[in-house]
Amino acid sequence: MSRFCLAVVVLLWVSAAAGNAQSNTVEREIKVVPGKDVRVGIYTDIRPDCTSGPLPAIRLVTPPTHGAVIVKRGTLKATNLKQCLATEVPAFIAFYRAAESYSGTDEFVLELSLAGGRKQLQRFRVNVSTSPGGGQGI
């Protein structure tokens, strides 16, 4: 798992613990190749005792114009995350797939509803390119 994936997990863990009713927006930029699934987010809640908290609700606020977003349920296996030396918790994994013949830019927005009534918008700006090295998920 990349270091960035763990940063997303930590962000949600701390946010859920804070539990305030504010909303904020996170901007993300990704590069993808058309016709391939690219992981764009991993969403979970790890409590201080290394057990799983409630998973966030995820809503597609603004769908992409030139692709599709799907969310799958999975398991996150993490090691050396804060005081959790090894843990395995349920997670939602979001994927984006650009249309097979599309090249250009796309955009979509996800809304996360976290524990304590807190909401977070995640705005994804997508660069779709057929050039080598064009696919970059998290």
Which of 66, 36, 8 has its CA nearest to residue 135?
36
Picking from 41, 54, 31, 37, the residue whose alpha carbon sits closest to that of residue 6 is 41
Task: Give the bridge partners for 81, in sequence order.
Answer: 84
pTM comes to 0.77
CA dist 37 and 94 (Å) reads 10
The full set of domain ranges for the chain reads 3-128
CATH of 3-128, one of 3.30.1660, 2.60.40, 3.30.70, 1.10.3470: 2.60.40
Q: What is the pLDDT of residues 22-77, one digit of tens each?
A: 559 999 999 999 999 999 999 999 999 999 999 999 999 999 999 999 999 999 99
